[in-house]
Amino acid sequence: MSLAGKKIGFIGTGKMGSSLIRGICSAEIIPCSGIYASDVFEASLRELSESLHINVTQDNIEVVKNSDIIVLAVKPQILKTVLSSLKNTITRDKMVISIAAGVKLETIESELNEGTRVVRVMPNIAATVAEAASAVAQGKSATTEDADDVLKIFQSVGSAIAVQENLMDAVTGLSGSGPAFIFPVIEAMADGGVYEGLDRSSALILAAQTVLGAAKMMLETNAHPGQLKDMVTSPGGTTIRGIYELEESGIRAAFMKAVIASSNRSKELGK
């Protein structure tokens, strides 16, 4: 299925749903006039309608009927209820995308008619600034073309890669939870700057831009992070002194443990 001429519907317009809608509109991969959205919160729908001129309704079934692609952007706790109410409306010519954390493809497929094409995606909160890291897993009835289309959609709000579903818990621990691991790093770096005399605002800007710049260097040069680190650490200089303190504090083990712990929690929630 090509995205050309297709219409996409969103069930749920919370932070992630609305971020994806804005990203798709901005990237123009599907025109705003081809986007439908439903939510129980009328204010959220009104804001999207007024700012983007998409089609809005509080009727989920209306969204499904008008869409070729349906994005389930609801909380995992209510996903089964939503799927049950839509089962007879989601026909085989439609594709379903779920961004509900921890809910397996098998669970989603079991709630829908046999042969329904389902793709599962794990994005992260950086979709709000079009810098999400997303992973896409293809369901048993979804085609390679379906998965490619989903990658295009999520690349409109950042980067997206294809993975096997058994790796989704690892994705959740790494990129799903990852932004929350980096925010304290930025805050701590800024604290160090404040300790040394910088004002708080300046320190936060410098710390955040430093993290952004370092990430962009790695992505754009495709260089190993160790190689980039060595570019900055001159013999006996300031940076290697700081690196030594980080290693003494166990920074690598701390981040590895954080990712592993979050991944394990994702596995628990998926049972």
Give every CB contact of residue 142 below 8 A, 6+ residues apart in sequence.
95, 117, 118, 119
> Which tokens go with 105?
């493809």
Is a pLDDT exceeding 90 seen at residue 10?
Answer: yes
Which one-letter DSSP state was computed for residue 176? I
Q: 150-180 pLDDT, tens per residue?
A: 999 999 899 999 999 999 999 999 999 999 9
Q: In the chain, what percentage of residues exceed pLDDT 90?
A: 88
Q: What whole-number distance in Å separates Cα of residue 113 and Cα of residue 109? A: 7
Superfamily per CATH, domain 8-167:
NAD(P)-binding Rossmann-like Domain (3.40.50.720)
| The pLDDT of residue 27 | 87
Q: What whole-number distance in Å separates Cα of residue 108 and Cα of residue 84? A: 10
Q: Is 223 exposed, middle or buried (0-12, 13-18, 19+ CB in 10 A)?
A: middle
| The pLDDT of residue 4 | 84
Per the prediction, the chain carries an average pLDDT of 95
Reported as a pLDDT band with limits 50, 70 and 90, residue 1 is low
Is a pLDDT exceeding 70 seen at residue 212?
Answer: yes
Q: Residue 85 in contact with residue 113, Cβ under 8 Å?
A: no
Is a pLDDT exceeding 60 seen at residue 76?
Answer: yes
Q: What whole-number distance in Å separates Cα of residue 189 and Cα of residue 149? A: 39
Please report, for the chain, the start and end positions of each structural domain, with discontinuous segments joined by +: 8-167, 176-269
Superfamily per CATH, domain 176-269:
ProC C-terminal domain-like (1.10.3730.10)
Chain position carrying tokens 């998965």: 147
- Report which of 27, 28, 52, 142 is spatially closest to residue 36, judged by C-alpha positions: 52
